[in-house]
Structures are given as C-alpha cells and as structure tokens.
Structure 1
Amino acid sequence: MPHPASRGAAVATLTVLVFAAALLGVFGPIDQALRELRFAGTDRAPSGNVVFVEIDGASLSGVGVWPWPRTVHAELLDRLMDFGADEVVFDIDFSTVSSEPADAAFEAALGRAGGYAWLAAFQQRALDGSAILNQPIPRFAAHAGSVLVNVDGDGTGLLQSVPAALDEPPIPSVAVALTPGAVTEPRIVIDYGIDLDAVPRFSAADVLFGRIDPGLVAGKQVVVGASAVELRDFFRVPRFGVIPGPMVQIAATETLKAGRGLSDLRFAPAGAVAVLAAMLFLLAGRRLSVAQLLGSAAAAAVLIELLAWWALRDAALLVDTAALHALGAGLVIMTLVREWADKRAENRRQQARLAWLALHDPVTGARSRQAMLDDLDHRERVGCLVLIELVRVSTVTATLGHGVVDRVLTEAVMRLDYQTGSLPARVGNATFAFLQPAGDTPEQTASRLAAALEAPYAVDGHHAILQTRFGFSSPSGMPAAERLRQAEIALDVARRGGIRSAVFDPGHGNRIEQRRRLDLALRRALTDGQFFLLFQPQVDLASGTMVGVEALVRWQHPEFGLVSPAEFVPLAEETGLIVGLGDWVLREACRQAAGWDWQGRLSVNVSAAQFRLGDVVGSVRAALESTGFPASRLDLEITETLFVDNDAGIVAALEQLQALGARIALDDFGTGYSSLSYLARLPIDKIKIDQSFVRGLPDPQREVIVETVLLMARRLGKLVIAEGVETDEQRRYLATVGCPIGQGYLFARPSAPEAIGLRSRQVDAA
C-alpha cells in the first residue's frame, strides 16, 4: 500500500494535470457532447410567435436570379404584411444601392409596413483589423429599424452565443428587437434546449406565390433569410448540427422570449468540486474496495450530470463537467492499478458470468434463444422443435408481481428439463422451446408435458395453476431458424383455434384463409338465424333433481357445418360481434326458459368483451322485459379475466345486475391466481369449481383444493357448483363433502330442452 504522503501527492498531481488539460481545451469535445445531451434533456417547445421564411433552393429557382431584385423583396414584404405578420426582419444585406426603380419599390413597401420591418446590420473586420459596419442605405433606414445579425461565435468551435447589441452606434440584435423589455448580458448565450425543429418554416417562394395559409403568419414575428445551400449562410451549433444564420437569430430570440438567457460558467464550479472530491478520496479511498470506488465514482458522475442538467433546466446555468469526470476516472484508475491482481481475478469471474449469460436466460436459467439455434444447427439429429406457451402468466404478473412469476417460470423450466432430458430455451416471456424427445409423438409429448406443467405451483402461499399450449415444427432437417418459425406458426394456430397443440403443415395458409372466411360468415350468421341454443343441466347432488340449466350457444353453418364455440366465440370477441351475439343468446335463452313448465334457474355466460364493448346491464334489462322471464331465476356467468384491469365500472355494472334481481356466478374458479381476492371484495353470489379439478378426482391434491373452496364458500355465503362431473364416484364424493350442485356429462351433455325433460306449457296443455 503506498505511503499516505505519496498517495496525496499523486492525487494532487492528477488534479493539477486534469485542470491544466481543461484550460487547454482538451475536454472541449466531451463537454460539448454533454451539453448537447443536457439541451436535449431540457427539451422545450418554442413560443410559436416566430416563423422563418426561408430563401431556399426552391425560392431561388422560382425567382431565377440571385441576388434578388429588390422588387421581389418588396413583394415578399407586402405579402407578409397582408397576411397579418406582426413584424418582419430581413436577415439580408441592404447596405448597397441597387437600381432606382427597385430601391424605390422596396422603400415604398417599407413605408407601407408602417415601421414594423427590421433590416440587417452587421460588423466586419477589414484587413487592417479595423471594424466596418454595414447598415441599410439611408432611404431604407428611414422606414425600418436596424438589427444586428452578427453570429461570430465565442471561440468554442460551435456557435453558442451571439452579441446582444452593438454599442456604437447602438443597434439591438434581432433577439433584443423582437423581445422588447428583455434583460440580457452583452452576449446572448443561446438555449438549445428549445426545439428549433418545431419552429414553423415556410419557403419564400410559397409566400410569394400565395401557397400558404395566411393564418399561419398572422400575428407572428417573421424572420426572412437564406437557407439555400448555395448561399453558404450556415453555422455549426450544439444539438441541431448545421443550421442557417437566420435560424441562429430565431434561436436567440426564442431564448429571450422564454426568459432563458443563459450564463456560461464553463468549468469554474468544477474546481471547487474537484478539491472536495480529492479530499474525500484521500480520506475514504483506502477503505473502499474497487467495486465500491467504481460505484461511488459512477454515482458521483450521475449526480454531477443531474446537477448540471438541473442547473441548465431551472437556473439557466451552463457548466462544464468533463474535467470532473476525467478526475474521477483518474482516481479510479489509480485504485485499479493498486489492486491489479484482485481486479484480474474479478475480471475472470465476470467473464465467466457473461459467458454463461450469453447462453442462458438470467431469470429462469433456461438456455437463450440463440444458444438453442446454434446448438440445433450443429446437431445431426433431426426432430420436431416444440414451442410450449404457459398461458395466464400475464394475469399472475398483474396481480402478484414479477417476483412470483419468475419463480413459477423457473420451476416450469426445471419440470421441462426433467421431462425432456434437456434444458429448454426461453424464446418469449412465457414461451419455451425444446427438441421433441425421441420416440414421442406430438400427442404424447403434449399430453405428458401438460400433465407435468399444469400441476399446481406452490409459491409464497399461493397455489398457481397454469395452462399449456404447444406448437410443433415439421420433423425435417431444415435449419433451426426455419424450424422455430414453423413452431411459432403452429403455436399461433393452436392459440387461435383454442386447442392444446398444433403441428405445422404447409396447409396452415389454407387455415388462415378458412379463418378469414369464417369471420365473414360469422358477420351474417346472426341475421340468417344460424345460431341455436343447447342446455346442460345443473343437478342437486343430494336429491338428483335438476335445479338449473346453462345455456350454450351453437352455430350451424350451411357450408362449414357445426362450428365449434372454441372457434367462433374468440373470433366474435376479437371482432366485436360478441356484443350482438351475446344479446341474442341472453334474449333467446330467457324466451325459451320463460315458456317451460319448470321453475329452475337459467345460467347464461357473459364475455368480458361484452362488458368492455357493450351495455350488459341494458341488455339484461331489455331481455327480461321482452320475455317476461323473472330476474330472480337468472344467473350470469363471468370469468375472472373481467377483473384483470381493476375497472371500477365493471364492479358497478355487476352491482346493478344484482339490483335487478339477477345473480352473479364466477366461472372456471381456481384456474387463476387472484380468485380468492375476488370473492372477498366483488359482488359474486356463486362460484363454479373448474372442471380441471373435478375431472381429476379422486386425487388427494385436488380433493384438498375442492374441500378448501367449499369451506371458504360456506364462510363467505357463496353457493358452489362443480363442473365436469363425469363419474358416479365423483358425484358421491362431492355430495359427501357438501358440494350442493354438480354439472357434467354424468347427468347430460348439452342438449335440446326436450331431451332433458324441459317442455313448454303449451305442449303440456295439449
């Protein structure tokens, strides 16, 4: 470890060298780049009161000569004043006499402007160093004020400021003339945080030929000047690169209008901070590790930049900080040299970590997408690439946060690794890829992995249950990227089709076309009377009595035949047709039920899309009034996706439905992560245990879930219906544990009313 005295001398020497370099301008480019970032970070809109009428290439071509005859300037001025311009500044040299008719025409136009025109004056240096002032000729100056248009910069390479005025004779700059009452220093330091790209710009040719809306100029201060490349009136400025001279004048004007005359302190404040930083380093540097010193230096650098940005934004101060950053870097380097051996070891560890991250997902430990593709391209084995999507992960993220999701996904990766014998790759938020195990068919793979991945995940007291969806590529030896593309297409087919898995085949294009045709057919199906209803009983498990029915919509198309609800309901939700279809189902179900010689309950499903796109309360009220069906016998089944966005309007709608007399049933209960919270705080009367729990009975884990739900429902005063009852053993078990109502194939499949004993009163009377 160096002696404290030598260490102090090294720090002092470094500080002197850094600020000597700053005085010599070594850090100028860095400071300029940092200033530009700060200007961009303080982005301000211009006042909108100043517009630029530019003599661009189109204007030069339109007139045909340069310099323009002063009759053209006269016409341009008249046009602008006719448009209602407040003031007009010409950043053009009028210091020499032209032809008498042309000068007379421009003089007359200045007279008509009534003193609201300004003409350019500028100072030049002769070869002997004396100053030469170019002013408008007297006949023009008699009708217009002179404004200084010098943009000679301040020696920093980029044009940072312009003179505020000429002392003798007294001539204000364009900015001062257009901003009466503005208080400024001898030089106006321009605030390039004002967005010059937002300053309105119009071609002089468009003004001359009447091609702009006069309202865009009315009441505005107009600066007229050259922007054509061939006129060479350009300057390099911070943030905006190269801009025309007149735009520099506008930038200075907007600076004063915004009250943003900046003070440029250069690197003076950095000197005091540097002394403090050096002292702190000497006091604490020996007790800091390299990592701590690097962190402190980084934090200090960020803090310095934030302070510099704040000083520019709120205090209109420009400060240079590159020297401070250089000093911080130098102090860090000194420490790095002193602890070189430790740093080498740390570098080796970091390189190993980076190498691992290049091949793996840092959250779940799965392989990265690119690592998988590279590996597959170098394998001789040919096989299907499988994509598996874990459904409902977004719901978990919204309700329980990313931490729980990350742990669930990590466990899912471990299960996949165990089941497939190889580490999967993470190719999406909740999508993983792996090579299909040898000897498996796609059906076997999907079935086995679904069973493994859909088993509950125990995370921080929550029992999360996911659903799975699979996409299989074709089993060919094509490049890995192509196999991945095929698997993605197949996964999308499965997703859109509402099926568990799909295998890629060239006919998927036909399926996409079929889906388009289905969409078109769906738009006519309702008016053509192609929908019909089936009903599935809900049975009292103790007595076997049918106490309710659930209405289920079906679609019989003349060409496509019987279309699955899993196919057309999602399509209707995507296109918004679900609103009309849902209204029809509700009205038709109530109409049929009102005519039965039976007093049980009617359940109707209501999609979350109906709440978002339609008026469910109004639809229910209309259906009840038109059919005479009593609201006290109506159950409306919803799913927890309705509550993902925490929309207060949804809760209000449910409360209105309850006020009508209807009851609210939560369908598919247990398949999400937040169902328990819904029961305690939302207007729900019934819960339907999802069939995935019931069909798995008897099973100890599912029995625990079912019994827990029943106990909780009883405590909360909710009625429970078990879906998916398929065996008598399941029925007996549910009845034994106190589940009051069951629904499933054991009792009946979805059927016509007559098939389950529901007959109209008219038939019975006959």
Structure 2
Amino acid sequence: MLTGTLWPGSRIASFAALAVGILLVFLPWSGLLAPIDQALREARFHASDRQPSGETIFLDIDSASLATVGVWPWPRQIHANVLDTLLTLGSAEVVFDIDFSSASTPEGDAVFAAALERAGGYAFLAAFQQQAADGTAVVNLPIAPFAAQADAVLVNVDGDGTGLVHSVPAALPEFSIVSVAKALAPQARLTAPKIGIDFGIDLTAITRISAQELLYGNPDPALFANKQVVVGSSAIELRDFFRVPRFGVVPGPLVQLAATETLKAGRQLTDWGTLPALLLSLLVVGAFLLSRLRQVGLTQLCLIGLASALLVETSAWMAQRLYAVTLDTAIYHCTVVILVIVALLIERTSRWRTSLQQQARLAYLASHDPDSGARSRQVLLDELDNHLASGEHFGLTLVHLGRLNQAIVSLGHDVGERAASEVVQRISRHLGMVPARIGSDSFAWAQLAPLNAAQQAEVCHSIGLVLDEPYVIGGHQVILDTCFGTATASDGLASAAELLRQADVALGHAQTHGLKSAPFDAQQGELINQRRLRDIALRQALQNGEFYLLFQPQIDLASNAMTGVEALIRWNSPTLGHVSPVHFIPLAEETGMIVRLGQWVLEEACRQAAQWAWGGRLSVNVSSAQFMLSDVVGSVTQALSKSGFPAHRLDLEITESLFVRDDTRIISELQQLRSLGVHIALDDFGTGYSSLSYLARLPVDKLKIDQAFVRSLPDPHHEALVETIILMAKRLGMAVVAEGIETAHQSAYLAGLGCEVGQGYLFGRPSTPQALGFEVSTIQAA
C-alpha cells in the first residue's frame, strides 16, 4: 500500500465499518453464532478439566437392571429394597430421581413408605414441574404417604429439552422445594435462581454402579460408605436424557449430579452472554476504521486480529476457570474475520484502482509528450499512414520554435517545457487539434483539407502570429521565432515518414533562406538525393568493412561496478565520412539491409565479448524489421555457436514498435530466445505505443527507461513517470535499466527508487574495448 497520502479507500472503509457495526448488533440474536459459541464453551470446559468431589454416586437403573426385574415401573418393594440396602451399606443420603407422584399397589406403597420412615429423613424423592395441556404449570409431587416421610427435591433442568442444558433451577420457592444439588450441598451459597453447571468437572469420573449389581450382586460397602447416592435411570427405554456441553447426551440423574458437584466445588457459573464481546467488537470496528485511515498494512492487521482473538479467548477461559464466569465470544471472532475480509477486499480494490491509474497514465504517456501534452511523433505517423492507405490527399505542417532550446538552457528545463506546453495550447485553440511533438523544439500537424501553396502559407502566417506572441512564465518572458515547412501528400508517396522528411526538408530550406515558411518542391529533392547516395554507400559498406562497434558501459547503481556493456554500431564511410546511426539505421530498415547489418552486429559483438577476460552482460539491439524479415532465433543461435559466448549473458534489446501488431509469431520467437537463456530487454520504454494490456504477459525480462525522461530529472513530472515505470516493472518481476544518466544526483535518485542498472555519459561514452579496460583472454569466455 502506498503511504504518505490519504488512504484511497478511506471512504470505503468508513462505509464498511458502519455496515459491520450494524451487522454485529443484529448477529447475536440471529442464532447463527450459537454453534460457534457452543464449540468454544466446550473447548474451555475441556481446558478446565476438574475431578468430582468423590462424595456422590450414580445408582443406575440401566437396561440390564430393567431386564432383570422384567417390568417398569418397578414394584415399590424393589425401591424399598434399594433404599434399605443403600442405608445398610452406609450411604449418607439417597435421592430418587424417579416419579412417585402416583400410587401403586397398597402393599407396595406401604413397604416403600416404611423404608422411607426407616431412612429417618436421609431420603429424598423427585418433584418436577411440567406444563399441562392448557399451558398452565403443574408440579408433580410424591404421594402423601411418601411425602410424609421424605422431602421432595426438584429434578427439573432449564430449557425446552431440544437444546443444550447449561443450568438447573435452584428451587421452587412457592412450594419450598429445593433442587437436588441444593439438598445434597446445603452449605453452598446460591448466587442466582439458576445453578449454572460447570461442565469442566469430569462427569465420567463420577462413580456409576448398576442397580442390578446392588440388588442381586455383592456390592462393596466401601463404595457406598458416607456417599450421597442419586438413584435414576440411564435406560434408553425410559427416555430421560439431555444434551450437555462436552459430554453430549447424558441421563437426567447425571445432570443433577453435575449440578451437585458444581455447588460442592463452589463453581456455580454466571453467564455474561454476548454483551461484553459485542461491546469489544464495536470498539474493534472503530479501531479498524482508524487503522485504515492511518494506512496500517493488511499483514499487520491480520496479525493484530489473530493476536487479539487469542487474547480474548484466553481471557474468556481464565474468567471461567478463575471466576466461574462464562462468556460468548463468537461475535468477536466473527468480527475479526469479517474485518480481515473487508480489509483484504479494500486492499485489492485499492491495488486495482492504482493499477488502472498507472495503466491510464502510461497509455497517455505512450501517445503523448509528458511535458507539453502534445501527441507523440509515432501517433502522428500512424494517423498519416492511415490517411495514405485510404488514398486521401492532405497536407503536413512542421513548425520549428527558434530560441526554445536556448530558453531551456538559460532559464531552466521547467521554464522551457512550460513554454512548449503553452505552444501546444495555442495551436490547439487556433486549429482545433492537438499537434504532435517531433523534436525538442518542433511540432507538426496534418491539414486534412487539401490546400495549395498560397493557402498553406496563409495558415502558417496566421498561426505564426499566435505563436510569436511573448510567453510569460514564472516571471520570465520568453520570445520564440517560428519557422514552418509544409508538404502535401501525393500519389505514390511511400509512407508518412517520407512525408515528414519532405516537410523537414522544406523547413530546412525556409531556415536557410530566411523565410517564414516554405513548401516542399522538387528543387529541394537534392536532399532526397543525398539520402539515395547514403543508400548506395550503405549497401557496399558492410562488404567493405566500413562498420565497427563501440561499447557503452552499464553500471550497477548500488555498487558502481560495471555489470554490462551495450554494443553500438558506427559507420565511417570513405566518401560520406562518419554517418550517424540516426541516418543510416532507418535507411537500413527501409531497404531491408538491416537483416545483414543486424546479423553482423550480433556475431561481431559476441565474438569480441567472448574473448574478454570479463564475465559481465552484453546487450545487442535487434530491430523490429529483423523480426519481420528474418529468423532472429536462428541468427542468435548461430552467433552464440560461432563465438562460444554464453547465452545467459546476452541481452537482446527490442523496441515497443515490435508489438504494434498482435503477432503471435513474434511472441513465440521471444519465448524461444528466452528458452535458450537469452534475456529480453524492452528499449526506450515510454516513448512508443506498446499495448499496455499485453505488457504483463510479454516475454520481457528488463525495461530500459528512455533517456528523454532520465536526462530531465529532477523535473517533477518526469519523476512521477519514472517512479511509475519502476514500480510497474517491479510488480511485473522485471529488472530496470535507466538510460541517459548524466549527473550523480540522477544516479542516486534512480538507485533510491530501486533501479538496478544505469547507463549514460556520467559513467562513460561509447568506447572501444581497450578504452574500457577489456583484455583479450586466452581462455574461452564461460
């Protein structure tokens, strides 16, 4: 995430935080979080495992006991036998969790009443409250003969029988009936009308003896001595079961024993429910919004959320273990998860928006001059080629702004470029079209309506009056002299580039003869003839050995060590003298000579570099025309094979114009080159018209920032462009090379942005291998 500016998704974060807050208020009452809270409570109970007191026993009327007797309800004589036997074995108290609210046989009831009398008040009988058919509450009590001999105790549980049981009623005050737990632990202090059961107490450790063993076996008196016994059933047939946390489905008597053990341990749980976690969640939502505004990173938020969730859960466990307080914390954990998801979505949205802005910026820069706002040279040529292809007749005007470069030198780059921007605005207002910037001090535009020479001169005169008006910029007055050259598209014209050259010839004629404007005519064809002579000389130059290579160093900006060189071709003609590559390279591309010339450069550069006692990289330029007219993969393979130069040290520099056409063959060839180990560098990036939508999937390893952007640093506009290109390259996993570095400040600035390699006059001009300190090695380069 970018820092230093207002977080781009702050408004989204505000709305998201508000939505989450509203959701949190209603979520606890939806029931959606209940399963999570139940699972968390069970986990806390497991982590708070406690042993029971050992003072209670569950005498279980299980299925085996029912089968032995053969009937249910049992005859009251059997219950009397159970009670007498338990007291004989030394049991302290006996609770029957069995319904005695209706009479049996007179003989059986009399026998059981006598047994209760012999118990002397140490026996308790079950009472329970249930709902009648008309909805009224009915309390079922033991029949009078039994009630006269034994106290009734409440065996109800809280809930409707369909959910988890967490508590039992402490008493029925209107009937003066206490619960089983209170009867067996009379010394315990009740803190609420309900006894919250601590299921951290291990119910499986409570002694459990089958009634069959007591009645028909040989029970050990030591097991029953001074123990409180709850008699009840676990038989499936009697359906006295409840779901409880941690232990799943247990018989009703075991729930009463759990409550009893809870009171004996002083662990009556108090349920604080969801409210504490809900309030904390709302605070976290507010903190989330504040963190978003302060641009806290997504990873940091995730770590904070995880740590806080662990802290909350640990606190809930400690509150239960130390203070017998239960909390529902699922709402907090859900809040953390939701906020992390929201943060992730906002982060992705922010990155997507940033990417779109960068692409839009680069798309604009690919077709416009970033300083003046004019269209690029290539965009104009493409437009003119389209007009030529459709057979249209039109004119082209080229204007030179005298003293603009002088203003840049004397008053500074910013003042000069602001003047150029004003030129573009004046032309746009006057002609209703945006001109293209052809050079640092020249602009061009097309006149789609055919004009004769006189009309063209009139247009140049009128726009000249507009452009010659003074420019007041930053307290400086800039005066420019304009000079125009025009050319008209005619039948048989080869290309827009040829038309532009004709306009340039006309402009040169006007400047030479002191004219305000001049059209191109046949008399100016001498310049074209010179181009023809260069063409002829070029065809013989390769055979005559007139070409040679110079090498410009490429420097690691971090260590200032030379890590590579770029091979640059030069031409010394015996008839024309030193001819600039600016003149003969385009000519070679147009005539097809570039195939042979490019093959020679590739083989000669590899041959020389292979002989140096040096392990750096070699960069060789490959023209788009070479890909169109020849087998570049075969040429590279041949050069490497002949020279023995290792493929992994070779960089092939291509230009953006290579991708004007959606040519799958070119993509395939680049991929084949990379499979050989060769690296692909995109040269002069930012000045052409590559499709940005393809850039992410092009087989490119490096981006070379065009020197036009680097040389103007520290211009703020170019700084923004360079930063954008480097950031984009890093995200695409590409290395970055900056061309045209001329000052130490530019070098330091680019290094600080993460640009790895620099090239320019600061480090060295194109030189011979000997001038760069390379010596021929006697060992083949590895």
Q: What's the TM-score, normalizing by structure 2?
A: 0.43
Q: What's the TM-score, normalizing by structure 1?
A: 0.44
Larger radius of gyration: 2
